[in-house]
Structure 1
């Protein structure tokens, strides 16, 4: 507790100054003054927790000094000392909000008791102030810990004029791995909005672990006008300064108790950044404006991706995925459709790679699929593409000893089994007869061409059942079955149970 002593009698002034630290080492003497005028300047300068002041002093008496402190709204406690027991002095002091009134000569035990009471009172008020601070209130609202309490609602109305159905907006800024690089800039931008923003009040909370900021906007004069200001002024400014991952979101609600739901709803929308890109403010209004269409899986891009893996051309591989992104955005489709299509492409690539000896293909794909499922920005996908390419192309063992002819036949089979390729088409590509290829295929692999196709499909169905939430008709289409019922029949013949039973048992 920081204390200022204002007393015109030097022995008392010096004695109080010397005894404070002895009473409690947490008591800090912030300064001493010998007159009311000098004491007022000292209080203005040091902003103490408590001022101990005499009533009768030269230049300005203690009660006049205290009146100035109250008028200037300097937040400090006051304890009055006086040799005068006149009731009028005490009454006036009480009206000015003193915490105690002690008569001279001062008893040390009484002084110690009074100081302890004042210290405890300050601590209670600080705790109360903390509970009513905007940071505490908004943070509890975001995390769902704010209770529906009538007394709290009344205090918030009194202190901040926040009503129970107050229109509130949430502006979110997510940066991912860019967080440390740009956090100071975002802090300054948000602070500038809080100070200079017109038609609203704002408070920003930093979430370091989530690498993001959430700004709560309240006292909104016009919600739509404020959203337009954020979208047309703040979003372009942030995008011009921040490279890499940047997700900007907006949502609205009524009342503090609705903030958590509004934040969670905004979080669920952030994956639309995959479709809109970083320059968009993702909001309910934005989603209502966009018209999406079913996504037709781009087989031509799948072929290009397979070719880039076969050629071990990482630059071409990266380019195919960017084409894939642009294709999804041009349709445009939903983020879920985009993720399902990316999952399909990744599965096909991993299966082909695994069959030709890339031992890390399957495990690497599982890691990549997790990235896809959690992605809210294309940067999330790009950051993993190089590792995924390595997993698809790195071989750690010698290939089986089969002829070059059958190696090529197997390669075609693995690449196009889901597109209904026939043995006749492969034989034509390899410039041999269908009969000869069929004979050699069975001789060198131990399985017929049809059995091999069937095995590829069933193994891929298993992977999709366990590693995705795709529906049976989607899985059937991905592995080359035109009829999901027929796929289920074949699956049961091979595995001994229906696909959904397999998912439930092993998922």
Structure 2
């Protein structure tokens, strides 16, 4: 607390310095004066928090000095020290807004209580002033802490000329993943816009926990013209300065109590960035100008992605993700439909990876699905896909190929007697027939047809020796539709007919 002492008696004036330090070492004696004229000049120069003053002084008395201080709009606190108990003096002093009236000789406990009371009053006043700063009021309105009541409405109108039903325009700038780098840049640019444009009043807020810079605009003339100005002039500057992810939304509301609900609605519309792009100022007007068409799910891109997973081709998988984005941007779709299709795409790839034995235990499909659902930029969707791909267990090329061939061999063993074809197995493994055939021959040394024939011949041998079934029954169980063709193949492979084989081995 900064204090000035105006007292014509030198012993009191000099003693007050030591007394103040004794009462509280943090008190700052900013200066002393021996009369009202010097005191007035000193008060104007150092602007103290408190003036301790006498009444009767040469050149100018204390009450006259205090009256002139008040005329100049200075609201410093005042404690009067006087040897006179005349009520007329006290009455004038009270009218001039003093804090206390102490009679000489000064008693230290009384002075201490008076000083402590002034200090408490100053702290309360400072807290109230800080509470009613425009930035604090707007911050509370943005975070849902603002409550409109009669006293608040009066204060807003008196101090800031903001009516209870004042229309507020909210600009939300979302800096996902790059807030720490660019929030100062965005704030400076918006501040300059407010100064340069000069057709509105504004307040800027920074919400670090939401990676957002918020501009609240009021006292605007033509709101639609202002929106177009921000779209044409401000958005290109913002996007040029911010190299990371940026999304901007524009919306109006009535009164400060409407700011928080407006922001909640704006956060829901952030997803339109997927459709409109980073340089578009998203607004109800702009969304209303779109004509979304239903999403036709890109089955071909999904198939290519599944093949990339099976063949261990990370570059192709990433290319598929890029093609998916290009496909959705080729027409205007509702963002929710886009994200639903992206989720379906991811789940299809996941099931293929799981069937191929490539799913890591620590991969969380729920986490990835949630990220896609909450995404409002393509970077966020791409990050979800990258997280998914990195969670898969990939092997060296020869190991990955062996895994595919092993799975093909398992399918042959399981379905050879049901007439399974190379085309069916390739489709199950999401690879081409040519690729599967070549890799199968390379790994096993036998063609697909030779492997199928081997399983069937072994089955025919087993049935010939362990049953009394007729040849047409054996052919059906071994996967042959024609018993004569079975006999021909058997003779070519074994050297004797099925009947001769049964006779020789029984």
TM-score by length of 1: 0.74
Please state if 1:412 is matched with 2:431: no
CA distance in 2, matches of 1:137, 1:317: 50
Partner of 2:178: 178
Change (3 A) 1:221 1:23: farther
Partner of 1:342: 342
Residue 202 of structure 2 aligns to a residue whose secondary structure is strand
Q: Is the 8 A contact 2:170 2:252 kept in 1?
A: yes
Partner of 2:147: 147
CA distance in 2, matches of 1:189, 1:43: 40
CA distance in 1, matches of 2:354, 2:385: 17
Deviations 1:14-65, CA, capped at 9 Å, x for gaps: 2222212322355333444445565455545544322223445567654555
Where do 1:308-323 residues align within 5 Å?
308-323=308-323
Change (3 A) 1:70 1:303: farther
Residue 248 of structure 2 aligns to a residue whose secondary structure is strand
Partner of 1:232: 232
CA distance in 1, matches of 2:24, 2:56: 28
Q: Is the 8 A contact 1:350 1:362 kept in 2?
A: no
Partner of 1:109: 109
Residue 172 of structure 2 aligns to a residue whose secondary structure is strand
CA distance in 1, matches of 2:25, 2:313: 72
Deviations 1:260-297, CA, capped at 9 Å, x for gaps: 21111111111111222221211111111222111111
Q: Is the 8 A contact 1:312 1:393 kept in 2?
A: no
CA distance in 2, matches of 1:131, 1:264: 24
Q: Is the 8 A contact 1:179 1:212 kept in 2?
A: yes
TM-superposed deviation, 1:333 = 0.6
Where do 1:271-310 residues align within 5 Å?
271-310=271-310
Residue 48 of structure 1 aligns to a residue whose secondary structure is coil
CA distance in 1, matches of 2:288, 2:345: 29
Please state if 1:19 is matched with 2:19: yes
Change (3 A) 1:55 1:410: farther
TM-superposed deviation, 1:369 = 1.5
Deviations 1:56-92, CA, capped at 9 Å, x for gaps: 5567654555455445544432233345666665555
Aligned Cα root-mean-square deviation (Å): 3.7
CA distance in 1, matches of 2:28, 2:393: 69
Deviations 1:80-123, CA, capped at 9 Å, x for gaps: 33456666655554444332333444332332232232223223
Q: Which has the larger radius of gyration?
A: 2
Partner of 2:358: 358
Deviations 1:366-400, CA, capped at 9 Å, x for gaps: 33222101112222123343332223452599848
Q: Which runs of 5+ in 1 are unaligned?
A: 444-507
CA distance in 2, matches of 1:386, 1:121: 59
Partner of 2:157: 157
Q: Is the 8 A contact 1:7 1:33 kept in 2?
A: yes
Aligned residues: 433
Please state if 1:133 is matched with 2:133: yes
CA distance in 2, matches of 1:394, 1:270: 35
Greater CA drift, 249-258 or 11-20:
11-20
CA distance in 1, matches of 2:205, 2:347: 40
CA distance in 1, matches of 2:34, 2:382: 71
Q: Is the 8 A contact 2:408 2:425 kept in 1?
A: no
TM-superposed deviation, 1:311 = 4.3
Q: Is the 8 A contact 2:372 2:384 kept in 1?
A: no
Partner of 2:248: 248
Partner of 1:494: none
Where do 1:23-102 residues align within 5 Å?
23-34=23-34, 36=36, 39-40=39-40, 42-44=42-44, 46-55=46-55, 62-63=62-63, 65-67=65-67, 69-83=69-83, 90=90, 92-102=92-102
Q: Is the 8 A contact 1:204 1:215 kept in 2?
A: yes
TM-score by length of 2: 0.74
Q: Is the 8 A contact 1:17 1:32 kept in 2?
A: no
Q: Is the 8 A contact 2:310 2:429 kept in 1?
A: no
CA distance in 2, matches of 1:284, 1:55: 67
CA distance in 1, matches of 2:280, 2:361: 35
CA distance in 2, matches of 1:327, 1:103: 88
